[in-house]
Each structure stands twice: as structure tokens, then as C-alpha cells.
Amino acid sequence: MLADRAREARAAFVWARLRRVFGFPPPAKYVIGGWGVLIDRLADRARELGVVIETDSWVARLPDPPVIVATSLAAARMLLGDPTLDGVESGNAVLLDLGVRSRRGDVFVISDLDQAGWLERYSLPDPSLAPCGESLVQAQIPVRAGESRAAAVQRLEAMVDLGLPGWRDRVNVAA
């Protein structure tokens, strides 16, 4: 009896935190219109503060600091005159972007802690991202060392199957 109450107390403790993290509406703030709108707002605010933003520009030498340059590692070595600059190889992942017909019971988010996979139905908090009756879903999972891309895609699709049953028959293929 005491063990049952202890289990219930632990479960209630965990449940409260899960609801706080994964409850709806989601605790994250979603910018209506998606990433593009967010980036535009950030760039506008930076310009208001006096930041000069240049894109698609060849840089032969750096201007006076402070300066941020986003470029390849090889270009940074040349630009900074530092052949010792080295980077760490990043991981690889398979990604899946879906437009599917919405169905009651589709999940909002899956966080696969065992395989580091993630699925999110972005059009749930921001319906402007998809036509009425449709859902915009993005999913990704890392490719394991030595794993083929095909095997990683199979693992990713298995995760999508859990959250969006029958998704293959609901995919919106643009004409």
C-alpha cells in the first residue's frame, strides 16, 4: 500500500513536468509566419541598432571590429591568415518535411530520447503555415556511425508512423 502511494507520488511529480514541457498550448513562443519572419525581425532590429548586414559579398579583408563573418572554414583560414584553424566534423541527419492532410489524433511533437529523433507538427501552433485541413510536419533523426542513409530513413519513417498513422496515404503531393 505504501509502495503504491510512493509510485503514485513519483508519477504525479513526473506527469506535472511532462505537462509543463509538452502541454498545449506549447510553452515555446511561435512566431506566426515561421523562421523567415523571425529572421527578418532580427535583421531589422540589428539594422536599427546600427549593424551593417551584407550578404553574398566577397570579403578580401575584415573591416574594423566588431565583425562577424559566416563563411567556410577554408575561406576563414585564408581571410584570417591562419592555416591552423580547424573544425570538428559535424554529424549527419536525415530530414523529412511533410505536407499531410490533418487527422484527429496526430501528435504535436515526438522527442525520441532513445534515438535522438524529433518530429514536430509546426502548423498546430501556427495554422498559417499550411492550407486549411493540412499539416506541416518536419522530422529528423541522426545517421549513426557506419549506418547507411537508407537504414536511417527507415528509423525516421518508423518514428513518423508512430505519430502520424497512415501518413503515406495523406501526403500532399503538389501538382
Alpha carbons 160 and 139: distance in angstroms, whole number:
7
pLDDT beyond 60 at 24: no
Looking at 22-26, 96-100, 108-112, which range is the least confident one?
22-26
Give pLDDT tens digits for 141-163: 999 999 999 999 999 999 999 99
Domain ranges of the chain: 35-80, 93-170
Alpha carbons 123 and 133: distance in angstroms, whole number:
10
Secondary structure class of 43 (helix, strand, coil): helix
Alpha carbons 21 and 6: distance in angstroms, whole number:
23
> pTM to 2 decimals?
0.63
pLDDT above 70 covers what percent of the chain? 94
pLDDT beyond 60 at 49: yes
